[in-house]
C-alpha cells in the first residue's frame, strides 16, 4: 500500500512539474527569470524541474505566480478505497 501511495505522489509531482515547465517554456521565461521574480535560487528551480527537489506548496505557488499561473487544488474521494 505504501508503495502505491509513493507512485501516486510521484506521478502527481511529475505531472505538476511537467505543466510548470511547459508553461514556462511557452511563455519564454527562463529559470533565472523565475529566480529573480520569486527569490528562489536558480539551482533550486533547476532541481525542482528535474524532479530532484520535493517542493513545498509555497514554492509551487510562487513559481506558478511568476509565470502567470494560479494554483488550484481539488481534493476528491478516492475510488475503490479499501477500509
> Using one digit for the tens of pLDDT, what is the confidence trace for 24-67?
999 999 999 999 999 999 999 999 999 888 889 999 999 999 99
**pLDDT on residue 37:** 97
For the chain, the first-to-last Cα distance in angstroms comes to 12
Which cell is 65 given? 505566480
Categorize the per-residue pLDDT at 3 as very low, low, confident or very high, splitting at 50, 70 and 90. low
Cβ neighbours, 10 Å, residue 53 = 16
**pLDDT on residue 6:** 62
1 pLDDT more than 80:
no
Which cell is 73 given? 487544488
Categorize the per-residue pLDDT at 74 as very low, low, confident or very high, splitting at 50, 70 and 90. confident
pTM: 0.80
Q: Please say whether the beta carbons of 20 and 63 come within 8 A.
A: yes
Cite the beta strand spans of 15-70 per DSSP E. Answer: none
- DSSP class of residue 55? -
Distance CA 2, CA 18 (A): 24
Amino acid at each position: 500500500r505504501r508503495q502505491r501511495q509513493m507512485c501516486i505522489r510521484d506521478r502527481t509531482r511529475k505531472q505538476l512539474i511537467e505543466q510548470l515547465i511547459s508553461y514556462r517554456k511557452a511563455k519564454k521565461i527562463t529559470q533565472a527569470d523565475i529566480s529573480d521574480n520569486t527569490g528562489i535560487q536558480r539551482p533550486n528551480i533547476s532541481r525542482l524541474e528535474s524532479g530532484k527537489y520535493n517542493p513545498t506548496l509555497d514554492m509551487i505557488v510562487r513559481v506558478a505566480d511568476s509565470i502567470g499561473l494560479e494554483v488550484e487544488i481539488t481534493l476528491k474521494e478516492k475510488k475503490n478505497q479499501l477500509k
